[in-house]
Amino acid sequence: MQGLTTSTTATMLSRQLVRRQPLPAATVAQIVAQRTYATPSGPPPAGFRLPRSKRWDDESESTLDRAGRFFLMTEMFRGMYVALEQYFRPP
């Protein structure tokens, strides 16, 4: 059983599973010893590597833009608080 191909091994394994008969230890060892690869042989496919992560100095938004957005949001929340405060105030 030295020269088993992948399709022959798969076929034999599926037949044994259907019959529910145990495989000989030598056959199991040969199936386990077959080398398989996670990626196909040859060059890696397009988009195989992940893009480089952004660093703190590579960002497109400046610090002043962030601060402006932060203060805009705080002023909006403050305005909503003032409006709700007037709404729930007793007459």
Whole-angstrom Cα distance, residue 79 to residue 61? 26
| pLDDT over threshold 60, residue 91 | yes
What is the identity of the amino acid at 6? T
Write down the pLDDT at residue 29.
79
Q: What is the largest CA-CA distance in the chain?
A: 95
Domain that holds residue 77: 60-91
Residue 65 counted as domain residue: yes
Rg of the chain, C-alpha, whole Å:
33
pLDDT beyond 90 at 73: yes
State residue 39's pLDDT score.
Answer: 63
The answer to whether residue 90 sits within a structural domain is yes
Q: Is residue 52 part of a domain?
A: no
Q: CA-to-CA distance for 23 and 16, rounded, in angstroms?
A: 7
Q: Tens of pLDDT along 13-62?
A: 676 666 666 777 888 777 777 766 666 677 777 877 888 888 877 778 88
Number of domains in the chain: 2
- Residues sharing a CB contact under 8 Å with residue 16, sequence separation 6 or more, in sequence order: 22, 23
Considering only residues 3 and 30, tell me which one the structure prediction assigns the higher pLDDT.
30
